[in-house]
Amino acid sequence: MSQSQHLPPRQSSRRDFVRTSAAIAAVGGTAVASTVQAVEHAEHPSLIQAGNTILFQGDSITDAGRDRKTADKPNQQKPLGNGYAWLASAATLVERQDKDLRIFNRGISGNKVFQLADRWQQDCLDLKPDVLSILIGVNDIWHMLNGNYDGTVEVYEKDYHALVERTKQALPSVKLVICEPFVLRCGAVDDKWFPAFDGYRAAAKRVCDAAGAVFVPFQSMFDRAVQYAPPEHWARDGVHPSPTGAAMMANTWLRAVGV
Amino acid sequence: MSQSQHLPPRQSSRRDFVRTSAAIAAVGGTAVASTVQAVEHAEHPSLIQAGNTILFQGDSITDAGRDRKTADKPNQQKPLGNGYAWLASAATLVERQDKDLRIFNRGISGNKVFQLADRWQQDCLDLKPDVLSILIGVNDIWHMLNGNYDGTVEVYEKDYHALVERTKQALPSVKLVICEPFVLRCGAVDDKWFPAFDGYRAAAKRVCDAAGAVFVPFQSMFDRAVQYAPPEHWARDGVHPSPTGAAMMANTWLRAVGV
């Protein structure tokens, strides 16, 4: 009997399987308890496997001052920048030092979805990532709100969906991570962003679900985080995270991806 | 049959237990696999339970600019500072928002073990922490090396052990977390720190093991991290972590404590 025939998708992983076996061995097969509580606690399998190439893609939040000249060098701070992508990479590399991972960042400040598409061949498909993490959307609305772009939320969703489909056709085994666009209510982010911004978040989630991708709930995380420090602590201008904001994003990413 | 009679200490937790039950339910009781691999993958139970008071104690690395005036206010950034203690707290609070936790920081810059002892009643025991995390040691060697303190590594270990024993007597059910003192080889940290510093790390580990505490391997983490960014990236002066260094410490703490 193969386990994949009998486990629901989110709980079916070799990791859970071996964990189970250990626990069965430990309790001598007598374990019984609430499965409801258990399912709440169950973790996702890790997306990241030995030998994987991991690519972060997006806008300035992903870019975070990365060094362009050394962009082809994996696993180093300068080409990975100073943001969540670097912090998530550093934690992954330190935790999985034996896994021979190669991690790259190709985020570019100011990008909207159509600009990712313009450079997708060389900055994504040619790198043949095993795991691809995308965070895009805040400029799609921001540049529209300030009159520098005429794209709507429908354009965002259509372009994003097409980009993901193109990726899956070129790289059929790629594991996709779609990050939730987020803002903090401070700095450049005022009332005119809402409720429009929620539409962009919802669109990203639909793109994610249609692709069977892993979703990283950045907005949900920040909505909780503002109970403990004001919005400006997490992102002074409401868009670009502080080092602390980036650290929280990295935590959320690592948890979603299962590192 | 109680599970505590049959599970080894590190694997025995309600969390593992319920996870096990879910997996048993999922595979219909047919799970069999390598227990060796399973034990390698098994995670620690979380030290943090609903309603817990958590206290961070230590020196400047823990202090990290915390606001003294609001020190009695739990769960807020200003009294928790800007270091690993705040980042670990923020992640814990966001992840465990339903757990009614109360988190405090009482680190004070420049402290050595004997200075913790001097203020232990009001700054630790009176707070009655359920989980107590201590990071202390770098000043015990640093102030000795620069001629401002005559304590040896033996004094450090004896004082630290006595402080932990005093804590356990006053708070018999406290869960202890002992953090490994660490340095990066840059800034103020030159060759004259070695091999003496390794003796302080080893002493902290012995204190930890004697107390049955959870150990947080900060030095081991940074020894790996310097493969991906130079020592100055993690701590410019070799002692006080950068925001990125603090983020990595928070990750390591969270993993050790099982958040």
On whether the CB atoms of residues B217 and B254 are closer than 8 A, the answer is: no
- Picking from B238, B207, B198, B209, the residue whose alpha carbon sits closest to that of residue B222 is B238
Helix or strand holding residue B37 (H, E): helix B35-41
Asked whether the predicted pLDDT for residue A9 surpasses 70, the reply is no
β pairing state of B53-58 and B214-216: unpaired
For residue A75, the chain B residues in CB contact (below 8 A) are 227-228
Round to whole Å and give the CA distance between B167 and A255.
Answer: 34
Residue A44 confidence (pLDDT): 55
Residues above pLDDT 70, as percent of chain A: 83
Q: Which of B27, B38, B224 minimises the CB distance to A7?
A: B27
Helix or strand holding residue B15 (H, E): helix B14-27
On whether the CB atoms of residues B249 and B218 are closer than 8 A, the answer is: yes
The DSSP symbol for B73 reads S
Distance in Å, alpha carbon of B152 to nearest chain A alpha carbon: 32
Which of A1, A4, A6, A24 should we substitute to test contact with B (largest number of B Cβ atoms within 10 Å)?
Answer: A24
A80-120 pLDDT, tens digit each:
999 999 999 999 999 998 899 999 999 999 999 999 999 99
Residues above pLDDT 90, as percent of chain B: 81
Q: Which of B19, B91, B248 minimises the CB distance to A41?
A: B19
Distance in Å, alpha carbon of A206 to nearest chain B alpha carbon: 24
For residue B93, the chain A residues in CB contact (below 8 A) are 224, 227-228
Asked whether the predicted pLDDT for residue B85 surpasses 60, the reply is yes
Residue B227 confidence (pLDDT): 97
Residue A202 confidence (pLDDT): 98
* SS3 at position B184: coil
A77-87 pLDDT, tens digit each:
999 999 999 99
Residue B44 confidence (pLDDT): 55
* SS3 at position A53: strand
On whether the CB atoms of residues B47 and B175 are closer than 8 A, the answer is: yes
Residue A1 confidence (pLDDT): 34
Average pLDDT (B125-153) is: 96
Residue B45 confidence (pLDDT): 72
Average pLDDT (A159-170) is: 98
Q: Which chain A residue is nearest to residue B45, measuring alpha carbons?
A: A41
Determine, for residues A246 and B247 on separate chains, whether the beta-carbon distance falls below 8 Å: yes
- Picking from A55, A104, A67, the residue whose alpha carbon sits closest to that of residue A257 is A55
Determine, for residues A26 and B6 on separate chains, whether the beta-carbon distance falls below 8 Å: yes
Residue A252 confidence (pLDDT): 97
Q: Which of A30, A38, A93 minimises the CB distance to B18?
A: A38
Residue B96 confidence (pLDDT): 93
pLDDT classification of B259: cutoffs 50, 70, 90: confident
What number of C-beta contacts closer than 8 Å exist between A and B?
188
**Given the structure tokens 């993490």, which residue do they identify?**
A133
- Domains in chain B, ordered, with CATH? 3-257 (3.40.50.1110)
Determine, for residues B11 and A22 on separate chains, whether the beta-carbon distance falls below 8 Å: yes
Q: What is the mean pLDDT of chain A?
A: 87
Q: For residue B53, which phi and psi values (nearest 5 degrees)?
A: -100, 130
A188-246 pLDDT, tens digit each:
999 999 999 999 999 999 999 999 999 999 999 999 999 999 999 999 999 999 999 99
B38-62 pLDDT, tens digit each:
333 344 579 999 999 999 999 999 9
What distance separates the 2 farthest-apart alpha carbons in chain A? 66
For residue B37, the chain A residues in CB contact (below 8 A) are 18
Q: Please work out, in degrees rounded to the nearest 5, the angle formed at the alpha carbon of residue A248 by the alpha carbons of A155 and A160.
A: 15
Asked whether the predicted pLDDT for residue B19 surpasses 90, the reply is no
Distance in Å, alpha carbon of B235 to nearest chain A alpha carbon: 14
Burial class (CB in 10 A: 0-12, 13-18, 19+), B147: exposed
ipTM entry: 0.84
pLDDT classification of B86: cutoffs 50, 70, 90: very high
Distance in Å, alpha carbon of A241 to nearest chain B alpha carbon: 13
Distance in Å, alpha carbon of B151 to nearest chain A alpha carbon: 34
B72-81 pLDDT, tens digit each:
999 999 999 9
